[in-house]
A and B are shown apart, each in its own frame.
Chain A
Amino acid sequence: MIATAWICLLSPLAAAVLITLGGTRITRRQAGYLATLSVLVSFVAALITFFRLLDESTEERSHVSTLWTWLSAGDFQVGLSILVDPLSVFMMLVVSGVGFLIVAYSIGYMDRSDEERRYFAYMALFVFSMLLLVQSGDLLILLGGWGLVGLCSYLLIGYDQERPVAIAAAKKAFIMNAVGDATMALALFLLIQRLGTLEYGAVFAGIDGAGSDLVLTLIALGLLGGAVAKSAQIPLHTWLPDAMEGPTPVSALIHAATMVTAGVYMIVRLNPIFAAAPNVLDLAAGIGAITLLVAGLVALVQTDIKRVIAYSTMSQIGYMFLGAGLTTYPNAMFHLMTHAFFKALLFLAAGIVIHALVGEQDMRKMGGLGRLLPKTWVAMLVGALALAAIPPFSGFFSKDPLLASALDAGAYGALLWVVGLVGTFLTALYAFRMIFIVFGGEPSPFVREHLHRPGHTMPALWMAWTVGALAVLATFGGWIQFSPFWTPITHFLEPVAEPGIEATGVEDLITSVLAAGLAALGIGVAWWIYSARRAEVPRWAFGQQLLEHKFYFDELYDAVFYRPAVWFANAAMRFVEGPLISGSIREVSEGARLIGARLSDAQTGLLRTYALALGGGAALLTLVFLAARL
């Protein structure tokens, strides 16, 4: 079982190395096949690991395997170790499963683009990094995987190296993530200082004795900072919409299905640490609630099809944070899984639309695609229904129990429950606004002119079957668990992440009815405004401004961080660099030149002067020595 887990981890790394070293000896298409195959191997290995784990009794389902001691500093040692337990296997299945479908889709999507090999090498490297993140048995290895996925995200957002926008977006993502990485590293330093180890088991066992409440809160806050940055939650969220400059499969894999959910995984994985600092958990839930609301509102006015989906990702991860923060861990993980299915589906279907319109992403130019691309329309509709949590699509089974659990968490939980319900209305509204604008009505002039219908070629088929598979998963993937009647996932994850709250059947029922009703209402309003056009889009100048500027977060960071930094740099340039540093260097060089000029006067070129100097010097020395002797 340990062997299959290692195969699962290392197979994509092998593919990345092979594609990189193979260079032009591997054709572009072979590179795609190789990357896809390696992730498929990972998925099969994860499946085998999963079934072997199921054979064991519940208490024994936790295995650590250490390859070698990776870092040793005095008493502090870190082994290159992986942990196989229900939570990591769950994530392995999601990452490698969805990853396999998306990498396979890329074979079609990236066909004939420049530097396909580089793309597939990065993708394989990303899958490896993500698996390292979820399989690590040690907080330091977790941080390593954390940094590596950030690197791959940076490389893939900036994949299109010739577009300055893409490069700027890549840098933004990297820097925002670096903030989170830094707070996380600080938390790890505190843990090392207090406990002398970063191994999960030892940390969880010793966390209660690690220090005062302040220390525990600081540790949890640092870790939460990392989760917030990686999962694009407020206030470190501004990089995610910009990250849509990367290729669409990258958005699907990294910025929807896997990497951005790493923050949720981390909170669930480290739940004993967070349990020691309950205030931080409440903060996480609050951040999630605010994010889901803000992202849902901003998504209402976005015009770029990928950005709408990006904001919906933020919003859905907000739900997961809400759930994880209120300690209903299995529900958060379950929503993570269904979200991976339907969000990947939405992105990949949007990718087909973008492909068909030769790269156009502006929804205002689209319209009437439902008739022209019927299968894509169905796929997108399935994704949107799952996103809006309409039964019987997968989102319904994961989001509603998550919200219902909030009712068990006191007044604060009830408040978040209300926010979550408002969020369901917004979700349905923006999702179906997108559906109606893009697919509804008559084909727009732009569409008539530019539509490039995908034929039955090889690349188009790769894109079609993967989207089909994801549509099936997004429809039926939620049926695995239907709380409170049938909860295998909760039982599976319980040994690692015991939920602190649980909804009663009545609460589940009330939430489901209300959430489904609000979602249906959202769809209805979207239909009323954007399809039937019975009402104008409400215009309220202040609100519109606020939403179109995304609540002024970018402007705020610009004013608080960027401008003062530039101002300070300019001032330092003018008052320090100019007069002091380059001034002193200039003075020193001038002085040296001046002394040289004076000294060169002595070099007359006249033999007699030299002879006189020699003779005079000798005579002087003689006199000195004589005088000294007397």
Chain B
Amino acid sequence: MMGPDVSWYVILSAILFTTGALGVLLRRNPLIVLLSLEIMLNSANLALIGFARHLGDSAGQVFALAVMAVAASEVVVGLGLVVALNRSRVPLDVDRLSTLRG
């Protein structure tokens, strides 16, 4: 069970990360931004697992599990914020949430 070479995993991870990063930077809906963040995190997970397999070291996989737990709690907070924003009739547009402008 050799499967594809580790470079393929890394390339896929890089593509996913770029997608996520572009989504964070370009999209204006906070929901999509959060989604893109998840993609970025998971691309990192993919890279971790890919290398773990390549090196035959399971520590990377454990690390990925920990990242998933953190991502889950992060999503809880993020979605909670989105719901709160919606409740207070604030438009769901990150560009209009610029009260911290200097």
* Residue positions of A touching B, CB distance < 8 A: 599-608, 611-612, 615
Contact = CB atoms under 8 A, between A and B. Distances in A.
A608 B98 CA distance: 11
A621 to B, nearest CB: 16
B95 interface: yes
Contacts of A603: 100-102
Contact of A608 (B25, B100, B101, B102): B25
Contact of B101 (A605, A612, A615): A605
A605 B24 contact: no
A603 B101 CA distance: 6
Interface of B: 21, 24-26, 33, 94-95, 97-102
A52 to B, nearest CB: 87
A608 B21 CA distance: 10
3 tightest Cβ-Cβ pairs between the two chains A and B: A603-B102, A605-B101, A605-B98
A611 B97 CA distance: 14
Contacts of B101: 603-606
Contacts of B97: 605, 607
Contacts of A599: 102
Given A605-B99, A608-B24, 13 more contacts: A599-B102, A603-B100, A604-B101, A604-B102, A606-B94, A606-B98, A606-B101, A607-B33, A608-B25, A608-B94, A608-B95, A611-B24, A615-B21
A604 B100 CA distance: 7
A337 to B, nearest CB: 83
Contact of A605 (B21, B25, B26, B100): B100
A602 B102 CA distance: 8
A520 to B, nearest CB: 96
Nearest to B97: A607
Nearest to B98: A605
User: Among B21, B99, B102, which residue has the most Cβ atoms of chain A within 10 A?
Assistant: B102
A606 B95 contact: yes
A607 B94 contact: yes
B102 A601 contact: yes
A605 B94 contact: no
Nearest to B95: A606
Nearest to A612: B25
Nearest to A597: B102
Contacts of A600: 102
Nearest to A602: B102
Contacts of B102: 599-605
Contacts of B95: 606, 608
